[in-house]
Structure 1
C-alpha cells in the first residue's frame, strides 16, 4: 500500500497526541500505542496499491502549496462491530482543491481505495482503531466534549507500507 498524507503543525499535532494519551490513560485502544517511528497524526489524502514514479514531481508541486489552514472538528465513529474513532476535518474549498490536486497528480495508476477518491473522501485524523461498542462510549467520555482546533497542514508525505518508509514531499 502507498499513501499520500497531510501532516499537522506542531501545536495541532500535540493536541491530537494529547487526545491519544487520554485514551491510553482510560485503558482504551489509541494510536499512541503504535510506537513506530512514522506514527504521527495525519490526514490520508489518497491510497494506492502502487504509485507511478512519474507522479512524484507532480505530488511535490502540490505539496509546495502548503501550509493550508485546517480545522479539526468533532469526534466521529466509523465502522461496524469494530469501530474507528476519528476527528473530522471541517471541509472547505481549499482542502477539497488540495485533495483533487493529489488525485490528479496520481492519475489512474494503481488500484486505489475508493473511500479516498474525490467525492467519497471523508477527511479525518484517526484517534483509535478496533474499539467495541462499549469502548466507544468510554472513549467519548474520556475525550470530553472537545472544542474545534484551528491549525494547519504543513507537510505532505508519502508512506510505503511495504518498505515501512515515509518521506516528505516538501524536501
Structure 2
C-alpha cells in the first residue's frame, strides 16, 4: 500500500522535482490554482502552486525508492518531519484536496475601468469611487469626489470592495 509524504523543495523548483520523482515511478501530487494577475499592465491568467515549495508524494516504503534516494532527487530539499521520522500524510487529506474545487469566479477578478466600487478601509473608508486602472498587483487607481472635484487616489486592493 502506498503511503503519502510531504516534501519540501527548493524555491521555484517544484516542477523539476516532480518530473525527476515521476521518472523514478513515484506518484506526485502538486496542486496548482489558476489565478488572474496583472503583469506589466496586462491582465493574465496564470497557474500558481497552491502550496509553494511543497509536493505530496506516494511511495511504497518496502518496494519503492529509499528515503535517501528521494531526498537526493534534484529540486528536493527534504521530507517534512516531526521529530526524526518523515510525517505520513493521511490519505483522506490528499483525497479531500483532489476533490476540492476552488471557486475561481471571483478570485483575482479586477473590475473594469469605469465600474463603481466602495472603499471599505483606510483614510477614504466609506467613499464610493470609480475604478480607473490597476497600479501594480496590489494597488488600484480610483477616482473619488472631494469638494465637488474628481481626484485620483491610489488605494490598496484589500481596502476596496468590488
**TM-score after normalising by structure 2:** 0.24
Structure with more helix by fraction = 1
**TM-score after normalising by structure 1:** 0.23
- Give 1 or 2 for the bigger CA radius of gyration: 2
